[in-house]
Amino acid sequence: MEPVEAVGKTVEEAVESGLSTLGLARSQVEIEVIDEGSKGLFGLVGRRHARVVVRPLANIESKGEAYEGAMGAVESPVRAEEDLGGIDEDDDEWRGGSSFDEDDAKSSGYVFLEELISLMGVDVDITETRSEDITLLEVEGRSLGMLIGRRGETLDAIQYLVNLAANREARASGSSERERYVVDIGGYRKRREEVLENKALELAERVVQEQRDEVMEPMSALERRVVHMALRDYDGVVTHSEGREPYRRIVISPKE
């Protein structure tokens, strides 16, 4: 029996898919984890599914022996990736994008960001990753604090300008498609995502215990998306956004 390669949102899901294809139990196969997958930044860009190879043991037909085989990597699978769904933020399923290649033409957003940061006198490296209709621009370098600002306010302003400039150029060229960019500087958004997830779970626990609403601080649409995703399947609570930008915030309420 030939081995099969299987994919899934998590390692565990990929393994189950491979076992189903082969019609074997876990004790009859060896598992090789090729890629543990990634939920991507804010669930949008860089999302990858887990990939595994499920390989039947050579001696199962003759000996029928139980074998656990290489399952250590599956005992602690990566957290399941969630779709957003059912709220005012975007709910598309994003897969992993391709990194920018020097042989490719730089996007208009990349060029604008490069020129903008150069005018600010900061020396940086920019990596561009394209994922369907969203492009991630990751900035690395020294003295990045001035580009991030208090609670990411400068970063959000830079991202707004990048999108504004890119869409103006697109319209000028006759394109009707909307350009969408996410800008991350020094990994700030990734760190912020982890903080928001932990805070959301902490507040959700309090809501369940005290049976009263908890209101979070004003956040951008990207950050609100993180909270909605983190609590989507949390038992006993529901979330919704209220207020006007830039003071729009999330309310976590007990589920009736």
- Are 173 and 116 found together in one domain? yes
Q: Which amino acid is at 33?
A: V
Report CA-CA distances (Å) from 252 to 210, 234, 245: 12, 11, 18
Here the CATH number for the domain that contains residue 211 is 3.30.1370.50
List pLDDT tens digits, range 239-252: 999 998 888 999 99
Q: Is residue 89 part of a domain?
A: no
Q: Is residue 82 part of a domain?
A: no
- Are 207 and 177 found together in one domain? no
Neighbours of 177 (CB within 10 A): 9
- Are 248 and 194 found together in one domain? yes
Q: Is residue 213 part of a domain?
A: yes
Here the CATH number for the domain that contains residue 151 is 3.30.300.20
Give the pLDDT of residue 2. 81
d(CA 252, CA 250): 7
Last residue of a domain, one of 129, 158, 181: 181
The chain-wide mean pLDDT, for the chain, equals 78
- Are 160 and 222 found together in one domain? no
Q: Is residue 169 part of a domain?
A: yes
- Are 105 and 170 found together in one domain? yes
Give the pLDDT of residue 221. 85
Q: Is residue 83 part of a domain?
A: no
Give the distance from CA 194 to its chain's centroid: 11
> Residue 237: helix, strand or coil by DSSP?
strand
Last residue of a domain, one of 181, 203, 231: 181
Of residues 128 and 40, which shows the higher confidence score? 128
Give the pLDDT of residue 29. 84
List pLDDT tens digits, range 137-176: 999 998 899 999 888 889 989 999 999 999 998 888 888 8
- Are 131 and 158 found together in one domain? yes
**Whole domain around residue 14: which residue ranges?**
4-75
- Are 175 and 236 found together in one domain? no
User: Does residue 237 have a pLDDT over 80?
Assistant: yes
- Are 103 and 168 found together in one domain? yes
- Are 212 and 162 found together in one domain? no
- Are 168 and 198 found together in one domain? no
- Are 108 and 168 found together in one domain? yes
Last residue of a domain, one of 125, 151, 181: 181
- Are 168 and 242 found together in one domain? no
Give the pLDDT of residue 47. 58
pTM over 0.75? The answer is: no
The mean per-residue pLDDT over the stretch 96-113 comes to 68
DSSP 55-98: EE-TTHHHH------S-HHHHSPPPPP----SSSS--PPP---E
Counting the structural domains of the chain, the total is: 3
> Residue 99: helix, strand or coil by DSSP?
strand
